[in-house]
Amino acid sequence: MSTAPVGAPAVGQVAPDFTLPSTAGSEFTLSTLRERSNVLVAFFPAAFTRVCTAEMCSFTEEFSQFDRANAVVVGISVDQIPSLKEFRAKHGITIDLLSDARRDVSQRYGVLDEAKFTARRSYFIVDRSGVLRWAFVEEHNGQRRDNRELLAELAKLR
């Protein structure tokens, strides 16, 4: 089990802003949600892998619970947009998936696995004012947080 990694933004600080290409067909900028919504930024290693598929599908299945928590969930991987679009379509994923193909955002959030050149599975909760309120990085990419835990952390923001 792990908390925020070395080099990651500290809980209580403004979350680093970013703009990434999205499977929605436009770019996604984190700061556009300030004053409107909490955000769960979920980094995942790679599309089409067992744990990543289960995780992204679970966000879709429990979308209404995240919506009730006034939270937008975005998944970020180093995959290119065409691959993420295919992944999203194949599995009926409804959340926005973002491509960090240059690995800049993964690096700024301290979750780039240099050996594998992918993002480590990790979670960052950003409140409506843009402040990072909770962060967690899995010790092993084969593990993931249960949505109940993520929703409990989001409930603390009310």
Active site residues: 52
Dihedrals phi, psi of 72, to nearest 5 degrees: -95, 130
**Nearest alpha carbon to residue 8 among 130, 127, 124, 146:** 124
Dihedrals phi, psi of 111, to nearest 5 degrees: -120, 10
Please say whether the dihedral angle defined by the alpha carbons of residues 51, 55, 58 and 60, taken in this order, is positive or negative: negative
**Nearest alpha carbon to residue 147 among 23, 56, 15:** 56
Distance CA 87, CA 156 (A): 32
Report DSSP state, residue 31.
G
Q: What tokens does 133 get?
A: 């309120």
